[in-house]
A and B are shown apart, each in its own frame.
Chain A
Amino acid sequence: MADASSSSHGDLKLTRVTKSFGDFTAVDDLTLTIPQGSFFALLGPSGCGKTTTLRMIAGLEEPTAGSIHIGATDITTKKPYQRPVNTVFQNYALFPHLSIYENVAFGLRRRGVKDVKEQVDKVLKLVELPHLADRKPTQLSGGQQQRIALARAIVNRPALLLLDEPLGALDLKLRRQMQIELKWIQTEVGLTFVHVTHDQEEAMTMADTIAVMNEGRIEQMGSPAELYESPRTAFVANFLGQSNLIRGEVSTSDADQSVVEVHGQKIAVLKSRNRAAGKSILVGIRPEKIRISLPEDQCNGNVLTGGIVSDVSFVGVSTQYVVEMPWKQDLMVFEQNDGGTPTLRPGDPVSLSWNAPFTFGLDGSEDVNAGSEVDDPA
């Protein structure tokens, strides 16, 4: 394929980018590098500034301060049509008056590319819809429109492909399927994908690197596993999957680990996984890491006793327990159903235990519920 924009290929760099609308700061001093060829996800609740960030990269908004580079080229003030960047819009924004073929050919024609037909045919084959070339967008299903929106963007071989909640309008089954296809297409065409989503599962499935955004800032950036296993803030811990965060005080520390006192019980936290600056700490543990057992059973690692089962929900592969602790906090426990049907019932007294290295420590000044009340419209 012809490559109109090779001169400006390279990593995408956002340097101290700020965007304000009146008094409201949508994006606050954002610095970010997205390596060429990666699948990058900007993840966050609605209003966190992720879409504004995307629109600034596309050129649809101009930053209030800061600069945006692709490779060595400064694109901060370039018009959208001057940038080697294409977008897959949230509701696809296909041109209703043009056929599918002309929709896909639109960008090529504007750039005066010669072999339009060959390239359009090729990309329609890639999204597996060559038979729909003569249809109008309204004659297509949501999933088909989504693929055409993707085809219309990638046919231009942009340095950067931006995806704004591209799967938001699809039903769950189709969304799963498209997640896999998008990932496959990204590998196939080798473009840099920047994907904006509020759906943590979608981000985790597809992206190599995720940046979790909150209130115009990046809370944490890393691989999906890194973010999940070692969240650095309560927001990340709660927004990406579920976490149990328990308030405590560091009582003793040695070279490797700290012992934390939580409501009279002792918990070990590895030094390397402890983000708390002072004595006050939030002890974190993911629900699926916890084992639930009867009080008289032998437990190893970190143990919390005195829990009462308050709710049991059976969800097939696992059983989800809500356990009320003596200090009136509810903890979540996910247990694999590998030992047959669960026998615990609401009201049963239990102990909770887990391998000490799974524990993570967050700064005690954080809000336990940060990121957990955020609506997930999915």
Chain B
Amino acid sequence: MAFIQSAVTRAGSFTGRKGRLPYLLLLPGMLWLFSFFILPIINLAGTSTQTPVLGGDTGQYVQTFRFANYIDAFNQARPQFARSFIYAMLATLLALAISYPLAYAIAFRSGRFKNILLVLVVAPFFTSFLLRTVAWKQILGEQGFVVPALRSMHIIGQQTTLTASALAVVTGMTYNFLPFMTLPLYASLERIDPRTLEASNDLYANGITTFRRVTFPLSMPGVVAGTLLTFIPAAGDYVNAAILGNPNTTMIGNVIDSRFFRIVDYPTAASLSFMLMAAILILVTIYIRRSGTDELV
């Protein structure tokens, strides 16, 4: 937003034909957003307050501006909402815990292997998202190496399985969104001038203090970007829960999916979608405000 504003302000100082150039450049993007984002969202908003046609077929709805749809939908899907945010948060925290050391090592310690490591981070994208998630089912399944290994080490009971569990869902999400965490973290860590770290050392801060006072604060833009890029898609995700979960691990995405495509209950699906969007928007706004990285981004 700030960028667009400043671009427009700067353009304002020009006159005549040149003044219109920034708007012309914005036009294709704006048209795209209008056709494929604004219009569908208005349509969706309309759907969310419809009610079934009395005596009509399944899937026939009429606009009655019934806002109580939202309350009904929320009451029905309350556990899935809670689960979505808890799982997404867990996956985000896990991804952060795994990615930070990785990104740190790539940025500061990888030397000539830097590019290879970066390619490896992105490499999973070369196979399909769905395929990778199914692969996790194999890895965590009875035939995989993880379960027998953990059983023989007595970390899990002999009867315990890992598939079709909340653990599997969170693990799958963590894995699938890991590059979205790693890359922004790497980008912001890599931008840190190593001399500021030396300066911190020089000014009586040991390694841990330097990390707490200099490295971590300077990597905050990456932390914020990475957590958002992980949390937002994770909160709306339904593939991981569908493939790796069980009926008690369904997330809001699964509910919306089944309302739209199985039960053909469009108003409920639409109002759930809106509530998910609103919830994410509010959480993200609070998060960005509190992390105070506006001037570092």
Contacts and interface: CB of A to CB of B under 8 A. Distances in A.
Interface of A: 58-60, 79-81, 85-87, 89-91, 93-97, 106-107, 110-111, 136, 152-153, 156
B199 interface: yes
B203 interface: yes
Contacts of A80: 198, 201-202
A111 B296 CA distance: 27
A94 B203 CA distance: 11
A97 B218 contact: yes
B199 A81 contact: no
B195 interface: yes
Contacts of A79: 201, 206
B204 interface: yes
B209 A85 contact: no
A58 B196 CA distance: 14
B217 interface: yes
B199 A87 contact: yes
A58 B203 CA distance: 10
B295 interface: yes
B205 interface: yes
Chain A CB within 10 A, most for which of B201, B202, B209, B214: B202
Nearest to A91: B195
Main secondary structure of the interface of A (DSSP, over half): loop
Nearest to A81: B204
B165 interface: no
Interface string B216-260: 011010000000000000000000000000000000000000000
A221 B200 CA distance: 32
B193 interface: yes
Given A79-B201, A93-B199, 19 more contacts: A59-B201, A59-B202, A60-B198, A60-B202, A80-B201, A80-B202, A81-B202, A81-B204, A89-B195, A90-B195, A91-B195, A94-B196, A95-B196, A95-B199, A95-B214, A97-B214, A107-B204, A110-B203, A156-B203
Contacts of A58: 202
Contacts of B203: 81, 86, 106-107, 110, 152-153, 156
Given A95-B196, A97-B218, A85 B202 contact: yes
A355 B204 CA distance: 55
Given A96-B218, A97-B218, A110-B209, A89 B204 contact: no
A153 B205 CA distance: 13
Query: What are the nearest 9 A-B pairs in CB distance?
Result: A107-B203, A93-B195, A110-B204, A93-B199, A80-B201, A81-B204, A97-B217, A93-B196, A87-B202
A96 B200 contact: no
Interface of B: 193, 195-196, 198-206, 209, 213-214, 217-218, 220, 295-296
A98 to B, nearest CB: 8
A127 to B, nearest CB: 17
Contacts of B196: 93-96
A93 B198 contact: yes
B196 to A, nearest CB: 5
Contacts of A60: 198, 201-202
A105 to B, nearest CB: 10
Contact of B199 (A59, A89, A156): A89
A111 B209 CA distance: 12
A110 B205 CA distance: 6
A136 B295 contact: yes
A87 B195 CA distance: 11
Given A97-B296, A136-B295, A81 B195 contact: no
Contacts of B213: 106
A134 to B, nearest CB: 13
B213 to A, nearest CB: 8
Contacts of B198: 60, 80, 87, 89, 93
Nearest to A86: B202
A46 B157 CA distance: 65
A81 B205 contact: yes
Chain B CB within 10 A, most for which of A85, A95, A153: A95
Nearest to B194: A93
A337 to B, nearest CB: 45
Nearest to B292: A97
Nearest to A80: B201
A97 B216 CA distance: 10
A94 B195 CA distance: 9
A353 to B, nearest CB: 52
A195 B228 CA distance: 46
A349 B214 CA distance: 67
B200 A95 contact: yes
A209 B2 CA distance: 53
A11 B205 CA distance: 25
23 contacts: A81-B201, A81-B202, A81-B203, A85-B202, A86-B202, A86-B203, A87-B198, A87-B199, A89-B199, A91-B195, A93-B193, A94-B199, A95-B200, A95-B214, A96-B196, A97-B214, A97-B217, A97-B218, A97-B220, A106-B213, A107-B203, A110-B203, A110-B204
A91 B196 CA distance: 10
Nearest to B295: A136
Contacts of A81: 201-206
Contacts of A97: 214, 217-218, 220, 296
A101 B203 CA distance: 15
Nearest to B293: A97
Nearest to A136: B295
A80 B204 CA distance: 7
A103 to B, nearest CB: 9
A111 B202 CA distance: 12
Contacts of B200: 95, 106
